[in-house]
A = this chain, B = another copy of it.
Amino acid sequence: MSIPRNTKAKQAVLHEISSSDFALSQPEIFERVKGACDRVTVYRVLDRLVMENKIHKIVNVDGTINYARCTSCDESHTHAHDHLHFSCITCKKIECLEEQLIHVKLPDTYQIKELFLTISGTCPSCQAT
């Protein structure tokens, strides 16, 4: 494996993800770091950050892919992904509900790798309207 470098683009992308309280899509991230780097670079930086376990990938209920930094996950350990995600249909934001762990029991013939558990609905902020 190659030694990762701390580039301007990487810092910018990671900063936007870190300072957002919900998961961002690639277009959203590119919009926010506008000028800092190329569109393709954002894709490559995101892939690298995922591999380095700095961020994690969330698939939204509509198939769009978002990126977030789990608050309870430090760089030290891998993401278990055994927690729920809440996807608001109004503001499109995705939250990690890390206190909500799900336990699934399947026949031994199934080998489980990861759980992708997302609830769609209206989040507290949007419900207050």
Give the contact stretch, choosing among A12-20, A32-40, A47-55, A104-112.
Answer: A104-112
How many angstroms from the CA of A60 to the CA of B63 in the assembled complex?
Answer: 8
Nearest CB in chain B to that of A118: its residue: B116
Interface residues of A in 94-129 (CB under 8 A from B): 97, 100, 102, 104, 106-107, 109-124, 127
* B111 pairs with A127, CB closer than 8 A: yes
How many angstroms from the CA of A100 to the CA of B107 in the assembled complex?
Answer: 11
Interface residue count on the A side (C-beta < 8 Å): 34
Q: Can you report 19 residue pairs joining A to B where beta carbons are below 8 Å apart?
A: A59-B59, A59-B60, A60-B63, A61-B116, A87-B116, A100-B104, A102-B104, A106-B119, A107-B124, A109-B127, A110-B119, A110-B123, A110-B124, A113-B121, A115-B118, A115-B120, A116-B117, A116-B118, A116-B120
Residues of A within 8 A of B (CB): 59-65, 84, 86-87, 89, 97, 100, 102, 104, 106-107, 109-124, 127
